[in-house]
Amino acid sequence: MNEFSSQDLFAKISQMTQEDEFFLPLPEGYQKGRTKYVIVMGTVMSGLGKGIFSSCLAKLLQDKGLRVAPIKLEGYLNIDSGTLNPYRHGEVFVLDDGMETDMDLGTYERMLDQNLSRANFATSGQIYSSVLHKERHGDYLGRDVQMIPHVTGEVKLKLRQLAMSAKADVVFVEIGGTVGDLENAFYIEAMRELAYEEGPHSTCFVALTYILEPKTLGEQKSKAAQLGVKQLMQMGIQPDIIVCRSEKPVREQARQKMSVFGNVPLERVVSMHDSASIYAIPAMLRECGLDFEVIRMLKIEDRINLGYERKEWGRWCDFTDKIGRETKSVTIGITGKYTSVRDSYASILNALEHAGIHLGCKVNVKWIETTTVKESNAAEHLRDVDGIIVPGGFGVRGIEGKIACVRYARENGLPYLGLCLGFQAAVIEYARNVCGLKGANSTEVDPKCPDPVIDVLPEQKKIEGLGGNMRLGGRDVEIKPNTKAWELFGKAASVRMRFRHRYEVDPRYIETLEKSGLVFSGKAPNQPIMQILELPNHPFFVGTQAHPELTSRPLRPHPLFTGLVSAAIKRKG
């Protein structure tokens, strides 16, 4: 039998036999030590903002000229997030390649101004299905297939593939859920193995935790956080950094306690307290020197470019300096089914924030539950808003209320932005009240309606199965010259937008709608798929079958959102 020391593992991998316990599937050409790994885990409770922390730290490193690549590892068995209810899990974020992912991928895309792909997202379901597929294919050469090393091996393979495809200096691994969950335990084990295999100065473990401050005590308590960190250590992982989430800045005493109980030097125990805007968090982490702590720990000082950082950080601060200094304010109404959970509209709220900061205007949001809205009371619901968004959605609930809101916006010059379902609602409203097609509807709402102006895409009709028959991901949209969309997009002939829909304008109705004055200013190239609509004689009435909120970035707000907010500012006067 061959004998290997851990240092030799990579070199000798090709000589391993079936007798060896080592199992190290590596992408071809993988170079140990080239890519470093920062691994972010949560303790005490979920919803701490692991994605926010991880993306902010990644941003600080990216700004120094390093190539960073984030990946989220989800514990659930779903293959993607497409079938998840946004009310329970937050919005479904769609990537350009059509992957439906967790909303954290949106945080990464925005913070890093990077388009991500399915290489940046894994679920337990994907990992297991890949292992089972390999087993059936005979790839495991007569071995019994086990959680360790095969399932953990698959996790490491995914990370190393990303390291190579992204040519990353640092891969940021965010593990979903909290330490102690049964479903993510194999990810944590895989990270323990990764640290051993990659060797010293290759990994940096970050434990995110929560410091409680019960009102009755008026004092910060770190016990739960200590226990969480202890649990991580029981799994064989010594955190290198402890990030304390809390409502108010974490006091020195609580940090000292975490330092003592976690074997982590005090300068690496940092406070990440609540902040009015997530865009203020990179500065918070930078002020505690966390960026350089990580760079030193990973020994990549020689890879950074401080001149580049000065420029990038300057650009970022020009943006963040405007936060909280807005001189104007507007209120945008958002209609929607999931009105009680802000996470279901995370990207829309971000896109409004980007546009607002850019225009020096604070954007307040008023949630409008449309199940109670009718034509007779729409004015009452919309009296105090300066603009309105009808966002994406599925199913029939509240749709008539949304259509009533669209009518009010159209007839009263109220700035309107329709997103996906909101685009469809605008078409239905126009068909009914301007074209005189009283029975116009979407077949999603009423499959037997006399005028199905919105119907299942012909190309999608052929494909069966829930989640399998949607038009997903980035598509080019051809812009019609001399329209509002064309002006907003800087006179571009074509723009890239992201889609997630099953229904569209039935091409048989396009002529009727256009003859009555509706302008389709964005279309799919070579297909009669209508993607942007507008009304020329309205201050701002725009709908899109796409989801522009998914591609708005802090320093590059989406033009349709800046369009809406500027129109709202003008209306308010």
Query: Residue 417 CB, nearest distance to ligand GLN (Å)?
Result: 13
| C-alpha span between 120 and 470 (Å, rounded) | 21
**Beta carbon of residue 469, minimum distance to ligand GLN (angstroms, whole number):** 9
Q: Does 475 help bind ligand GLN (rule: CB under 6 A)?
A: no
Residue 110 binds ligand GLN, judged by CB under 6 A = no
Which residue has 């209810």 as its token pair? 85
Per the annotation, the verdict on 150 as an active-site residue is: no
From 326-334, 475-483, 500-508, 529-537, give the range in contact with ligand GLN by CB under 6 A. 500-508
Options 392, 398, 522, 563; binder of ligand GLN; rule CB under 6 A: 392
Cα–Cα distance, 347 to 110 (Å, whole number): 9
**Between residues 152 and 347, which has the closer beta carbon with respect to ligand GLN?**
347
Tell which one of 32, 303, 502, 553 touches ligand GLN (CB under 6 A): 502
**Which CB atom, from 99 or from 269, has the smaller least distance to ligand GLN?**
99
Name the catalytic one among 150, 354, 381, 547: 547
Residues 24/11, Cβ–Cβ less than 8 Å:
no
What HEC string does 53-85 produce? HHHHHHHHHHCCCCCEEEEEEECCCCCCCCCCC
Number of residues that bind ligand GLN (CB under 6 A): 10
Using CB under 6 A, which of the segments 158-166, 487-495, 499-507, 528-536 binds ligand GLN? 499-507
To the nearest whole angstrom, how small is the minimum distance from the Cβ of residue 304 to ligand GLN? 41
Is 337 a binding residue for ligand GLN by CB under 6 A? The answer is no
Residue 91: active-site member: no
User: Of residues 150, 420, 429, 444, which has the active-site annotation?
Assistant: 420
Residue closer to ligand GLN, measured from CB, 300 or 449: 449
Angle at 126 between CA 208 and CA 48, to 5 degrees: 15
Q: Residue 386 CB, nearest distance to ligand GLN (Å)?
A: 23
Residue 501 as a binder of ligand GLN (CB under 6 A): the answer is yes
What is the C-alpha to C-alpha distance for residues 107 and 278, in angstroms, rounded to an integer?
Answer: 10
Which residue's Cβ has the minimum distance to ligand GLN? Answer: 392
Q: What angle do CA 163, 167, 172 make, to 5 degrees?
A: 45
Q: Coil, helix or strand for 245?
A: strand
Reduce the DSSP state of residue 232 to 3 states and report it. helix
Kindly state whether residue 473 participates in binding ligand GLN, applying the rule CB under 6 A: no
In terms of C-beta distances under 8 Å and separation of at least 24 residues, what long-range contacts does 525-529 make, across chains too? 525/476, 525/478, 525/494, 529/457, 529/504, 529/505
Name the catalytic one among 309, 358, 549, 558.
549
Q: Which residues contact 106 (CB under 8 A, 6 or more apart)?
A: 91, 93, 346, 347, 350, 550
If one asks whether residue 524 binds ligand GLN (CB under 6 A), the answer comes out as no
Q: Which helix (H) or strand (E) holds 367?
A: strand 361-368
**Choices 313-321, 481-489, 501-509, 536-544; region in contact with ligand GLN by CB under 6 A:** 501-509
Tell me if 218 sits within 8 A of 54, measured CB to CB. Answer: no
| Rounded distance between C-alpha atoms, residue 480 and residue 507, angstroms | 17
The answer to whether 278 contacts ligand GLN (rule: CB under 6 A) is: no
Query: Least distance from C-beta 503 to ligand GLN, angstroms?
Result: 3
Among positions 503, 520, 540, 541, the unique one binding ligand GLN when judged by CB under 6 A: 503
Distance CA 206, CA 240 (A): 6
Q: Which is nearer to ligand GLN, 316 or 503 (CB)?
A: 503
Q: How far is the CB of 454 from ligand GLN (least distance, A)?
A: 7
CA angle, corner 36, sides to 293 and 92, nearest 5?
A: 95
Q: Does 389 bind ligand GLN (CB under 6 A)?
A: no
What minimum distance in Å lies between the beta carbon of 463 and ligand GLN?
A: 13
Is the CB of residue 62 less than 8 Å from the CB of residue 56? no
- For residues 455 and 337, give the distance between their C-alpha atoms in angstroms, rounded to a whole number: 21
Tokens of 369: 């539950």
Amino acid at 176: G
| For ligand GLN, the closer CB: 121 or 345 | 345
Q: Beta partners for 331? A: 364
Which span (263-271, 314-322, 390-398, 555-563) binds ligand GLN, by CB under 6 A? 390-398
Q: How far is the CB of 534 from ligand GLN (least distance, A)?
A: 18
**Which CB sits closer to ligand GLN, 54 or 81?**
81
Query: Per CB under 6 A, does 446 bind ligand GLN?
Result: no
The whole-angstrom separation of Cα 241 and Cα 290 is 9
Terminal-residue alpha carbon distance, the chain: 82
- 3-state SS, residue 368: strand
Task: Answer yes or no whether residue 91 interacts with ligand GLN by CB under 6 A.
Answer: no
Q: Is 388 in the site for ligand GLN (CB under 6 A)?
A: no
Q: Closest Cα to residue 50, out of 80, 70, 25, 24?
A: 70
Q: Which is nearer to ligand GLN, 263 or 371 (CB)?
A: 371
Phi and psi of 360, rounded to 5°? 65, 35
- For residue 342, the surrounding DSSP H or E stretch is none
Contacting residues for 556 by C-beta, under 8 A, at least 6 apart = 113, 354
Position 345 contacts ligand GLN (CB under 6 A): no
Radius of gyration over every alpha carbon of the chain, rounded to an integer in angstroms: 26
Q: Is 444 in the site for ligand GLN (CB under 6 A)?
A: yes
> Which residue shows structure tokens 């068909």?
431
Residue 500 CB, nearest approach to ligand GLN (Å):
5
- Residue 500 binds ligand GLN (CB under 6 A): yes
User: Between residue 414 and residue 443, which ones bind ligand GLN under the rule CB under 6 A?
Assistant: 420-421
Instruction: Tell me: does residue 394 bind ligand GLN (CB under 6 A).
Output: yes
Which residues of this protein are in contact with ligand GLN, per CB under 6 A? Answer: 392-394, 420-421, 444, 500-503
Annotated catalytic residues are 420, 547, 549
